[in-house]
Amino acid sequence: MTDTKSLIAALGRDAKPVRRLRPPAPRAALWLCFAVAVIGMLVLHHGLRPDLVRRFGEGEFLLEWLGALATGLGATLGAFHLSLPGRSARWMLAPLPGLGLWLFSMGYGFWADWLRLGPDGFLLGTSFPCFAFIAAVTLPLSAGLLFLLRYAAPVRPVAVAVLATLSVAALAAAGQSMMHGLDTAIMLLIWHLGTIGLLLLLARLIGPGLIRRLYEPPAAAA
């Protein structure tokens, strides 16, 4: 019994206070402001598409854009919540409403192209600027976001890495759609979802390890 009391006393003497992380919502909001600023500057640098006002007046395009934006917002908030212990695993579902809207709008566009163009709507083209924009935005912003979420290393590194990458990729796709027009919905599916799928695969493979390498215990308060 004496040894137990001595151990507790020693642990109490050596224990150091830690700096608590801010709540998930304010941290996610700050990150989103930064991400929107970076993406916005890149979009303005490349130039807005000339038919943007008209396209925002079309329900299909507006739903697609809002779906991508909602996916990014939900994935960001979910990632920050899942990076903390004790949070419900249901936060993994946060991007699903936006993702469902996004996929539905692109699927509707695909069907509309088929009715309008027939088999010609399946002709694939190349859109390497689309790929380059999404990749250029996603890779650095994902690395920065994973650094902010590095305390998820002992909690849920896989889920956090996937949601973080989905967040940035969806926001990048929303930004890209404002500066470059793809010819058909099938090209949209290939270049948007194909690029994002590749990035999510990379996040699943290397994201958890990257989070663990970045992880450091919270610094002691002064």
Mean pLDDT, rounded, for 142-157: 78
Residue 168 within any structural domain of the chain: yes
Residue 93 token pair: 């579902």
Residue 221 within any structural domain of the chain: no
Residue 15 within any structural domain of the chain: no
Residue 120 has pLDDT above 90, yes or no: no
Residue 179 within any structural domain of the chain: yes
The three-point CA angle 186-37-71 to 5° equals: 40
Count of structural domains within the chain = 1
Q: What percent of the chain has pLDDT over 70?
A: 60
Asked whether the beta carbons of 134 and 65 are under 8 A apart, the reply is no
Residue 35 within any structural domain of the chain: yes
Mean pLDDT, rounded, for 103-109: 79
Residue 195 within any structural domain of the chain: yes
pLDDT of residue 144: 82
Mean pLDDT, rounded, for 140-155: 78
* Angstrom distance (rounded) from CA 59 to CA 62: 5
Residue 7 within any structural domain of the chain: no
What is the pTM for the complete model shown? 0.75
pLDDT of residue 96: 94
The residue that leads in pLDDT, 109 or 44, is 44
The residue that leads in pLDDT, 9 or 82, is 82
Confidence bin at 43 (pLDDT 50/70/90) = confident
Residue 44 token pair: 């303005």
Confidence bin at 93 (pLDDT 50/70/90) = very high
Other CB atoms within 10 Å distance of the CB of residue 85: 10
Residue 6 within any structural domain of the chain: no
Residue 1 has pLDDT above 60, yes or no: no
Mean pLDDT, rounded, for 163-182: 82
In the chain the first and final C-alpha atoms are separated, in Å, by 34
Which residues have a Cβ under 8 Å from the Cβ of 64 and sit 6 or more positions away? 102, 105, 106, 109, 177, 188
pLDDT of residue 57: 87
Q: Which domain holds residue 99?
A: 21-214
Residue 192 has pLDDT above 80, yes or no: no
pLDDT of residue 184: 47
Residue 29 token pair: 């909001």
